[in-house]
Structure 1
Amino acid sequence: MNIVFVRRVTLLVAALGLSGALAAPAPALADGPQRIVLDYTKGKCAKTTLTARSGVPTTLEINTSDNFTDDAKIDMQGNRIALPDTYAKQTTTVDLGVPGPAAIPFTVSGSEWPGSTGTGCTGWILIA
């Protein structure tokens, strides 16, 4: 065997190995499921734009505290989920499944209540 043949075989094996590594699907759960957190207190949302990765099991956790109305809710993707009337922090979990790339609008609302500083928010969950 000459040196040119050995180099070609070595390059071919390296190229095939690299192409196989690049073509292999990445494991979807490499980092595990993801959580998106929305804080809702005194009638206001801490953030109105939330971000997440697509193709990963996702849950939205809504941390509610100092919510003095029993009709607070979040409207998202045609679903209406009630939020607790609470002084202490409580978490409401919404399973978003394994979303693809999308922009999901949401609205958190409640009645005007004396002592609250806000009446909800409108925002987006951006999944890329």
Structure 2
Amino acid sequence: MPIYEYYCPDCHKIYQFFVRNVPEHRAPACPRCESTELTRRFSIFTTTTTEESRLEKLADPSKLAGLDENDPKSLARWMRKMSKEIGDEDMGPEFNEMIDRLEAGEDPEEIERSMSMDPKSPPTDSTLYEA
């Protein structure tokens, strides 16, 4: 039992109609002006995905196309794309800050050190510190 959308050219409105019997379905009259000139519209629809299918999509090697692990801006674009793939959930202010800093061209390792939960975490071998 589908729901169809119809556009009324006289009212310039879209209305939804529940259809009980599809084979006998005829275009309805406008509920506002009673026009019979309604035209059927394509409705927007969504599908649900399981966590498993979502992870399978993320594991697809084509999702890595254009990713340059040595380019912070490329990493930021990929991270934004992947966050949308998993449902555009809010990943928190730290995630957004990290992406903003990558887009600005900052070194990923420096970002990781500065955002570390443990302020005493040792520097990596590639970091030079002046005494």
Instruction: Tell me, yes or no, whether TM beats 0.5.
Output: no
Q: TM-score, normalised by structure 1?
A: 0.25
Structure with higher helix content: 2
Q: TM-score, normalised by structure 2?
A: 0.24
Over alpha carbons, which structure has the higher Rg?
A: 2
Structure with higher strand content: 1
